[in-house]
Amino acid sequence: MHDPILSLRSQSSLRDEWLQARLDTIVPRVMERAGVDCWVLVAREYNEDPVVATMLPSTWLNARRRTILVFTDFGAERVAVSRYAVGEVFPAVWSADEQPDQWRRLGEYLEAKDPERIAVNCSTEFALADGFTATEFEAFRAALPARIRSRLLATEELAIGWLETRSPEEMARYPEVCARAHGILRRALSAEVIEPGITSTTDVEWWMRQEVADAGYESWFQPTVSIQRRNGTAPESFFSPPDGEIIVPGDLVHIDFGIVYLGLHTDQQQHAYVLEDGETSPPWGLVDGMAAGNRVQDLLMAEFAVGRSGNEVLAVALGKANEHGLAASIYSHPIGLHGHAAGPTIGLWDQQHGVPGQGDYPLWPDTAYSIELSVEIPLPEWDNQRVRIMLEEDAFFDGETVSFLDGRQTELWLI
C-alpha cells in the first residue's frame, strides 16, 4: 500500500521546491556544458514553449501575456523581462511605465549584460526543443542591438539538457510514482477487472482511465489493451489493436499504460495469461518468452554509456541479441517531465537501423528511460505460432549503471 496521494496544495509546494533546486543546479550545469553564457526563452499565453512550461511555478498553469525568461552568467542570474515576476524564481526587470516596449527592454538588458553567446530554443529534430516561434524570434532579433545580434545561437542542447536531467529530489520520489502505476497495472491484469468471456479490452482500458482519475493522477495517453491467442493473428502494430475484443481463457493479454504524478511520467507494459480449464500455469513457451524478453532488457541496459548515442546503443544491443538467437526489436525512449521525453531515441518500432537526428544525441548521466522492447518467439503449445512478448519498464541511468525504478515483470500474471 502507498501513502495517500498528496493534496494539491502539498504537491504544489513540493514541485516548487523541486523547481527551485532544478533552476539552481541543472541550468548552470547544462549551460556550462554547452559553453553558453546566456539563454533566452519566450512564450505567449496558451502558446507556451514546452521548456518554459516546465519552468513556471506550480500555480502558474500557463504563461501570462508574453513571458520572457533570461539566464545570464551561465545560469547564475535569472530574470523575467515581463510584466509580472514569475513567482519567486524569476524577478521582473521590466516596468512598462519606464520602458513601454517589452522587446526594447529585453535588448537593453542584454546589451548591459553583454553575453558572448545568446541561445534560443530552435531544433529541426526535437519538438520539445523547438519552442521559439518564428514570430517571436523575428521580433526578438529585431530588438537586439546590432553589435550583439551576431551572437545569437539557435540550439537544442540547453532545452534537452534541462528536460532530460533528473534531480536528486525528483529521483527520491520517482520510484514511488512508478510503484503507483504498477499497482493499477497489476490490478488491471487480474480477476478483479477481467472476467473471462465477459470483459472486453475496451472495458479494461476505461477502467484504468477511471482509476487514474479517481486516484488523483493524470493520464498522458490512452491505455492500450491487446490480445494474442491460439490461431489468432498477433497485432501487426501494437499501436492499432482491434477495439472491444472479449478476453477469453487461453489469451495472452498485454497492456501499455502510464500516469503522471508530481509532474513525473511513467510508461509500462506487462502481460497476463488467462488460464484455460484445468490449467494451473501458463504454457512453458510463454514462460520461456518472458525470460527472453528479460534477457533483451539486460543486454540493452548493459550498453548504456555516457557519450554513446542512442543509435550506437541500439546497434550494439541488437547485435548482442542476435548473437543470443533472440528476435528482438528495441524502441526505448527518455522519460521524465514528458512521456516521450527529450533525449536520445534508442530505436523506433519501425526504425531498427537507427533514427537519424534524435538517435544521434548522446547519453548523459542522471537521465531516465523507458526500457521498451519486444521479442518474438515460436510458441510450441500453439503449433509454433509467432508470439510477441512486449515489455516496458522505467529505469534510471546514473552515468555508470541502469536500474529499474520499481523492478520489472519477470513472470506472467495469471488470471
Percent of the chain at pLDDT exceeding 90: 89
pLDDT computed for residue 168 by the predictor: 97
Domains 8-164 and 168-414 share a fold: no
**pLDDT(190) > 60:** yes
Q: What is the mean pLDDT of the chain?
A: 94
Mean pLDDT of all residues in 316-336:
97
Annotated domain spans of the chain: 8-164, 168-414
Give pLDDT tens digits for 365-390: 999 999 999 999 999 999 999 999 99
pLDDT at 235: 53
- 315-335 burial, b at 16+ Cβ within 10 Å, e below that, comes to bbbbebbeeeebebbbbbbbb
What are the pLDDT digits (tens) for 145-165? Answer: 988 999 999 999 999 999 999
Calculate the alpha carbon distances from 352 to 318, 331, 346 in Å: 9, 8, 9
Average pLDDT (217-245) is 81
Confidence at residue 236, expressed as pLDDT on a 0 to 100 scale:
54
pLDDT at 237 over 70: no
Domain 8-164 has CATH 2.40.30.30: no
Task: Look up the CATH number of domain 168-414.
Answer: 3.90.230.10
* pLDDT over 90 at 55, yes or no: yes
Task: Determine the average pLDDT of the residues in 197-221.
Answer: 97
Instruction: Identify the DSSP state of 200.
Output: B
| Predicted local distance difference test score (pLDDT) of residue 395 | 98
Q: Which amino acid is present at 20?
A: Q
